[in-house]
Chains A and B, each alone.
Chain A
Amino acid sequence: MESDTTVQPPKTALLVLGCPQVPVQTSIALYLVSRFKKAGITPIIAGNKAANTLLVVADPDRHYLGEVMDLDRAVAQIMEKKRDFDRCFVFIHNDAGISYAATMNAISKAKLYVLVYGEHQEDLVQQITFPCTKIAAKAVHNPMPLKKAIDEVAPWAA
């Protein structure tokens, strides 16, 4: 008898990195990658050269990281309908981060989460009016407030 069960491809999560000048980004990105992999979700990193290099150098044997891609290329692939993702997490600590999150909201079918941190996180959160799940904490050097906020949402379980 033939089975009617079909094998679903693994769920994917795109992590859109911002400027790496705020230290918690690299730490939280690796944390999320680890949590997603444990949950059976394939994480993909998209950032500029500096943000990506910080991660790649920290994980030379790729214990955590999988695919790492250029941010502009990720936008182009989504726009050209070559690729999309199930979840998208945008790191925001400045105005440019909001621009990237709004762009992902407009072009991707992914469920959107924004991770807002840094000195100006309260002002930035108020500027985000498009639909998304907001995870925010005043974290600059210490990643624990943002990690705690992420754990409360547990996006890997959603």
Chain B
Amino acid sequence: MGCVEALNYEILIRDASFKECRDYIRNHFPESIDVEPGFKIFDVHTIGVPPIAVGLDGDFVIFPYTKPCHGTFLLRVQDAEESARLRALKKGLK
């Protein structure tokens, strides 16, 4: 089980809806990949209504993180390895 606190993250949006986060990713980042709920990003299982959009911007991964009391946060984390993994997955899905 992962903990988001272990990541060096930046909060782009806080207390948003899942739809706001999906729309923001699709409208603000050059690349995105759609994943299913439960998909693991870093060491965290994503929570949300499918399709869950995950943004890619260079080495940055942008993904939603949901807490029961605080809605959904949109987090940006720089990680070359994880962004490369997601790009490879995106290629495989095409």
Q: Which residues of A are at the interface with B, using a C-beta cutoff of 8 A?
A: 17-21, 47-48, 50-51, 71-73, 75-76, 78-79, 94-100, 102-103, 105-107, 130
Contacts and interface: CB of A to CB of B under 8 A. Distances in A.
Contacts of A51: 68
Contact of A50 (B17, B38, B45, B69): B69
Nearest to A78: B38
Contact of A102 (B40, B50, B67): B50
B48 A102 contact: yes
Contact of B37 (A17, A73, A103): A103
B68 A106 contact: no
Contact of B68 (A19, A102, A105, A130): A19
Contact of A17 (B18, B68, B72): B68
Which of under 10, 10 to 19, 20 to 34, or 35 or more describes the interface residues of B? 20 to 34
A95 B68 contact: no
A37 to B, nearest CB: 25
A95 to B, nearest CB: 4
A76 B1 contact: yes
B66 A107 contact: no
B71 A94 contact: yes
A48 to B, nearest CB: 5
B70 interface: yes
Contacts of A99: 18, 37, 47-49, 66, 72
Contacts of A79: 38, 40, 45
A75 B66 contact: no
Contact of B72 (A18, A71, A95): A95
B36 A106 contact: yes
A96 B71 contact: yes
B1 A72 contact: yes
Given A19-B68, A48-B67, A99-B37, 14 more contacts: A72-B1, A73-B1, A75-B38, A75-B45, A76-B2, A95-B18, A95-B71, A96-B47, A96-B66, A99-B47, A99-B72, A102-B49, A103-B38, A103-B47
A94 B2 CA distance: 24
Contact of A18 (B38, B46, B50, B68): B68
Nearest to A51: B68
Nearest to B39: A79
Nearest to B20: A95
